[in-house]
């Protein structure tokens, strides 16, 4: 059991942090400091244990989908839905949910964790289920090398006690899967869709030999106005509110995980109906309305995510803005911008901003993309962007901390859902 | 009149391409075009035929697994690369290939990986990765701005010139003040970022050396480097 004083003190810090409009992680950092076992103690009480979702891209949206799919089956789910996917983010989310004695009323916890934090987390709280989405080059300034990232996911998988759900299209994860003692289930793509979802090796000109792809519980079979999934070999077609090819592949991952958790008792019509209704997580293709026009926020944080974002959202008819920060959560090395091809934006980018706005403008210059205006100050840049794009739909590509700041700023112009 | 052509050889793009080295190739190619050249890019992967005509050589970083894949092949083309260097062909090698252009790389467990010895330098695996923004100073290129991320610690033997001296950051090994190495017209460096976009002076120098070698003269154009200048100014102000 957590120490009562740490719960109360943490809740107080959380209330204060919210009053001053600060981030979600500060109170969690505080409670971790004063009671290192707080998280483990609170999560140990859950009857269906802990589900951990990790990988380079798609954690937040997939976590949101898994939570909703499990809820459709009548489970009460605890999750860290702020997208603060460091362990202190989990502690912060727990503070909001536990009662004063540290009790958490839920059946199961579904958590997204950054790979590096997950490795430490699983030693304190072994997950019953885990989902390994993909390994792409991301923030190598933190993790060193992509093979090291794969090793982190392997460690998460080895700590998992019941089932590990694995993306069979990721060659590094297929290798990881061979080393796992727990039950392994797969999700995947029909052969005809493989070229739409490049893995890291094919993005960088390497071999993509895929003879050793195992059978999968859930396969994304077809993608058009509706999506067709094959569930244990049976085709199911459904419309989706999610946009973007990568979000739909994440839906296959979420389905495979939900099926592994629920087992034979699944109410499939309810499961699919809920999936059809899932909307993107905040900042992941989220649509706001500004001055009567849609304004989409697309989070970008690594080359593969940025490429898939550009591929998923055609620029025609939209005014485009790009905001690049280089804080720790964004990745400090700007090299990644040079691994993204921006030629699809050849009609121009109206506004470029963020601490590294000039790095971004420089990148666009080398792809012959006209840049309307650059201002490293996000507030001024957004005001200028809204002025020059009046009457047009808008799309903003932004790194994590730029997205948080822009959402706050957009709140002055639009109704923005408050997520805490 | 047909345009003068420059041929850029990219070493091991399949295995040594980590994180933004594509930016160096793009900048070199575009700037050479801006300076009036027709550019041909030749990719060289293990087992390929080494091209007859080469004006600039470019090589990047890789993970340990990538370095294992290319090491034997690199040793086999080492004599050709050394001959090109002796002929004054400009080259830029970053991180992993910078290390393997040296005499050896000694891994954490004492295993020695032989390099081609084009640079008289040696590298040993260090206890921690040297990561962060870095600024160095060079007489030829001014301030050099970039981002380093390496665990190998490289030491220049007597008589080898560095690319720059460290103003802020770790550099070759975090102990002496040197970053990178130079030999003839060959530059080795740990800097990502990518290196060339924010350091166009180095890109133009490589192109100038290549043009003078092949055609005897170089008449530079004046590319618009406003964004590069501002990106440099902001990068220099960022914390480590």
A313 touching B, CB under 8 A?
no
Q: Chain A to chain B, count of Cβ pairs less than 8 Å apart? A: 102
Question: From CA A40, how far away is CA A62, in angstroms rounded?
Answer: 23
Whole-number average pLDDT of chain A:
83
Contact B26 A356 (CB under 8 A): no
The residue-averaged pLDDT of A24-43 equals 66
Nearest C-alpha neighbor of B156 from the set B179, B186, B131: B179
Q: Where are the domains of chain A?
A: 4-277, 284-410
At A250 the pLDDT is: 92
At A207 the pLDDT is: 47
Tokens of A79: 């999750």
The residue-averaged pLDDT of A12-28 equals 56
Is residue A323 within 8 Å of residue A398, measured between CB atoms? yes
Residue with the bigger pLDDT between B18 and B232: it is B232
Question: From CA A54, how far away is CA A147, in angstroms rounded?
Answer: 15
**Reported pTM:** 0.72
Q: First CA to last CA across chain B, in angstroms? A: 50
Vertex A162: Cα angle to A158 and A166 (nearest 5): 65
CB-facing half-sphere around the CA of A145: CA atoms within 13 A: 19
**Which of the four pLDDT bands, split at 50, 70 and 90, describes residue B141?**
very high
Assign domain A284-410 to its CATH architecture. Alpha-Beta Complex (3.90)
Express each pLDDT in A138-168 by its tens digit. 555 555 567 888 888 999 999 999 999 999 9
Q: Is the pLDDT of residue A284 over 80?
A: no
- Decide if A4-277 and A284-410 have a common fold: no
Express each pLDDT in B170-223 by its tens digit. 999 999 999 999 999 999 999 998 999 999 999 999 999 999 999 999 999 999
Whole-number average pLDDT of chain B:
94
A376 touching B, CB under 8 A?
yes
Q: Is the pLDDT of residue A419 over 50?
A: no
Q: Is the pLDDT of residue A21 over 50?
A: no
Express each pLDDT in A359-368 by its tens digit. 999 999 999 9
Neighbouring CB atoms inside 10 A of A145's CB total 21
At A202 the pLDDT is: 58
The residue-averaged pLDDT of A225-236 equals 92
Would the CA dihedral through A206, A211, A215, A218 be positive or negative? positive
The residue-averaged pLDDT of A9-22 equals 57
Is residue A114 within 8 Å of residue A143, measured between CB atoms? no
Helix (H) or strand (E) holding A77: strand A77-79
Domains (ranges, CATH) in chain B? 5-237 (3.40.50.880)
Question: From CA A89, how far away is CA B39, in angstroms rounded?
Answer: 50
DSSP structural state of residue A264: G
Nearest-neighbour CA in chain A from B64: distance (Å): 9
Residue of A358, A372, A375 to mutate for B, most B C-beta atoms under 10 A: A358
Of A144, A146, A376, the CB nearest to B234: A376
At A29 the pLDDT is: 64
Q: Is the pLDDT of residue A420 over 70?
A: no
At B191 the pLDDT is: 95
**Under CATH, what is the fold of the domain A4-277?**
3.40.1190
A328 touching B, CB under 8 A?
no
Nearest C-alpha neighbor of A107 from the set A55, A50, A63: A50
Is residue A366 within 8 Å of residue A290, measured between CB atoms? no
A337 touching B, CB under 8 A?
yes
Nearest C-alpha neighbor of A309 from the set A283, A285, A345, A277: A285
Q: Pick the residue from chain B with its C-alpha nearest to A203.
A: B14
């Amino acid at each position: 059991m957590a120490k009562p004083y740490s719960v109360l003190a943490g809740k107080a810090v959380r209330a204060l942090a919210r009053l001053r409009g600060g981030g979600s992680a500060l109170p969690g950092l505080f409670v971790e400091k004063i009671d290192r076992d707080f998280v483990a103690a609170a999560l140990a009480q859950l009857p269906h244990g802990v589900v951990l979702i990790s990988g380079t891209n798609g954690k937040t949206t997939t976590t949101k989908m898994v939570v909703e799919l499990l809820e459709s089956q009548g489970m009460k789910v605890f999750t860290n839905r702020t997208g603060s996917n460091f362990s202190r983010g989990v502690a912060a989310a727990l503070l909001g949910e536990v009662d004063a004695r540290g009790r958490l009323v839920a059946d199961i916890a579904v958590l997204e964790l950054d790979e590096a934090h997950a490795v430490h987390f699983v030693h304190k709280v072994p997950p019953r289920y885990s989902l390994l989405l993909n390994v792409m080059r991301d923030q190598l300034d933190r993790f060193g090398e992509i093979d090291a990232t794969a090793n982190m996911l392997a460690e998460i998988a080895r700590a998992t006690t019941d089932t590990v759900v694995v993306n069979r299209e990721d060659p590094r994860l297929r290798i990881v899967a061979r080393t796992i003692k727990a039950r392994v289930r797969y999700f995947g793509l029909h052969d005809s869709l493989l070229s739409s979802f490049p893995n890291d090796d094919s993005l960088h000109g390497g071999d993509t030999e895929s003879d050793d792809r195992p059978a999968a519980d859930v396969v994304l079979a077809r993608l058009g106005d509706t999506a067709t999934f094959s569930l244990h070999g049976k085709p199911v077609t459904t419309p989706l509110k999610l946009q973007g090819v990568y979000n739909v592949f994440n839906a296959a991952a979420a389905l495979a995980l939900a099926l592994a958790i629920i087992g034979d008792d699944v109410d499939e019509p309810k499961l699919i109906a809920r999936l059809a209704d899932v909307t993107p997580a905040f900042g992941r293709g989220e649509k706001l309305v500004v001055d009567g026009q849609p304004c989409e926020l697309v989070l970008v944080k690594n080359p593969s995510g940025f490429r898939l974002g550009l591929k998923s959202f055609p620029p025609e008819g939209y005014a485009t803005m790009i905001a690049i920060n280089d804080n720790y959560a964004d990745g400090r090395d700007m090299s990644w911008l040079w691994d993204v091809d921006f030629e699809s934006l050849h009609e121009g980018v109206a506004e470029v901003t963020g601490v590294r706005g000039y790095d971004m403008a420089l990148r666009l210059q080398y792809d012959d993309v006209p840049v309307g205006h650059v201002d490293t100050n996000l507030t001024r840049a957004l005001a200028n962007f809204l002025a020059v794009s009046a009457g047009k739909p808008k799309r903003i590509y932004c790194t994590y901390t730029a997205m948080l700041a822009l959402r706050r700023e957009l709140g002055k112009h639009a109704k923005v859902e408050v997520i805490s | 009149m047909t345009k003068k052509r420059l041929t850029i050889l990219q070493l091991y793009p399949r295995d040594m391409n980590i994180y933004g080295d594509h930016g160096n190739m793009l900048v070199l190619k575009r700037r050479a075009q801006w300076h009036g050249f027709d550019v041909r890019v030749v990719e060289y992967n293990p087992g390929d035929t080494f091209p007859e005509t080469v004006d600039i050589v470019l090589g990047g970083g890789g993970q340990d697994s990538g370095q294992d894949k290319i090491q034997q092949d690199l040793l086999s083309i080492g004599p050709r690369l050394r001959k090109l260097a002796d002929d004054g062909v400009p080259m830029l090698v970053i991180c992993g290939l910078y290390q393997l252009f040296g005499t050896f790389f000694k891994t954490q467990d004492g295993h020695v990986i032989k390099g081609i010895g084009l640079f008289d330098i040696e590298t040993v695996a260090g206890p921690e990765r040297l990561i962060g923004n870095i600024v160095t100073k060079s007489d030829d290129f001014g301030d050099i701005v970039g981002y380093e991320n390496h665990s190998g610690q490289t030491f220049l033997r007597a008589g080898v010139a560095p690319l720059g001296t460290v103003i802020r950051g770790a550099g070759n090994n975090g102990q002496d003040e040197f970053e990178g190495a130079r030999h003839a017209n060959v530059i080795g460096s740990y800097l990502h970022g990518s290196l060339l976009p924010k350091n166009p002076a180095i890109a133009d120098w490589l192109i100038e050396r290549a043009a003078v070698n092949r055609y005897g003269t170089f008449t530079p154009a004046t590319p618009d480097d406003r964004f590069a200048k501002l990106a440099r100014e902001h990068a220099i102000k960022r914390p480590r």
